[in-house]
Chains A and B, each alone.
Chain A
Amino acid sequence: MSTTSGNMAGTAGSGTIGARVGRLTAWVILALIIFISLFPFYWALRTGLTFNRALLTGDQSILPPDLTWLNFKRVLGLASDAEMVQATGFENSASFDYLLALRNSMIIATVITIGQVFFSAMAAYAFSRLRFKGRDQLFFLYLTGLMVPPIFALIPNLILMKNLGWLNSFQGVIAPFFLMTPFAVFFLRQFFLGINRSLEEAAIIDGAGHFTVFRRVILPIAAPQMVTLAVLTYVTAWNEFLWPLVVAPQEENVQPLTVALNAFTTQVPGTQPDWSGLMAGTLLAALPVLVIFIAFGRRLVDSIQFSGIK
Chain B
Amino acid sequence: MTAVSPDVGASETRPKPSGKKVQNLTGGWPVAFWFLLPSMVGFLVFFLLPTIRGFYLSFTDWNLIGNNGKFIGLENYEKLAGDDQFYASMWRTLKYVVINIGSQTVIAVLIASMMDRLTRSSVIRGALLLPWLMPNVVVALLWLWMLDGSIGVVTEFLKFIGFSDDLAFFTDTGKVIPTIAAINTWKYMGYTALLMFAGLQTIPGTVYEAAAMDGATEFQMFRKITLPLMRPVLALVLVITMIGSFQVFDTVLVATGGFGGQPGGPVNASKVIYLYIYQNAFNFNDLGYAAALSVILVLILIIVTFFQLKLLRAGESDLA
Contacts and interface: CB of A to CB of B under 8 A. Distances in A.
B72 interface: no
A180 B38 contact: yes
B288 interface: no
B50 A152 contact: yes
A148 B124 contact: no
Given A38-B130, A151-B278, A193-B12, A228 B198 contact: yes
B150 A58 contact: yes
A264 interface: no
Contact of A130 (B26, B135, B315): B26
A34 interface: yes
A201 B35 CA distance: 18
Nearest to B125: A301
B25 to A, nearest CB: 5
Interface in A158-206: 160, 175-176, 178-180, 182-183, 185-187, 189-191, 193-194, 197, 200-201, 204
Given A58-B151, A144-B302, A190-B232, A37 B127 contact: yes
B243 A8 contact: no
Nearest to A18: B217
Interface in B252-299: 258-259, 274, 277-278, 281, 287, 290-291, 294, 297-298
A60 to B, nearest CB: 5
B298 A144 contact: yes
B298 A148 contact: yes
Contacts of A130: 26-28, 31-32, 35
A160 B49 CA distance: 11
B42 interface: yes
A29 interface: yes
Interface stretch (A69-77, A87-95, A96-104, A121-129): A121-129
B227 interface: no
Given A18-B217, A133-B29, A143 B305 contact: yes
A120 B50 contact: no
B146 to A, nearest CB: 6
Closest 7 CB pairs of A and B: A179-B42, A5-B205, A136-B5, A131-B26, A301-B122, A123-B39, A153-B50
16 contacts: A12-B117, A22-B217, A23-B218, A34-B124, A43-B145, A60-B153, A131-B27, A149-B294, A151-B281, A193-B11, A193-B315, A273-B258, A275-B145, A286-B134, A300-B122, A301-B122
Given A148-B47, A179-B41, A194-B317, 20 more contacts: A9-B118, A30-B124, A43-B145, A119-B38, A129-B27, A131-B27, A133-B29, A140-B1, A148-B54, A148-B294, A152-B54, A155-B287, A193-B232, A197-B16, A224-B198, A228-B198, A241-B137, A242-B250, A278-B138, A304-B197
Interface of A: 4-9, 11-13, 18-19, 22-23, 26-27, 29-30, 33-34, 36-38, 40-41, 43-44, 47, 55-58, 60, 119-120, 122-123, 125-133, 135-153, 155-157, 160, 175-176, 178-180, 182-183, 185-187, 189-191, 193-194, 197, 200-201, 204, 210-211, 214, 224-225, 228, 232, 235, 239, 241-242, 258, 262, 271, 273, 275, 278-279, 282, 286, 289-290, 293-294, 297-298, 300-301, 304-308, 310
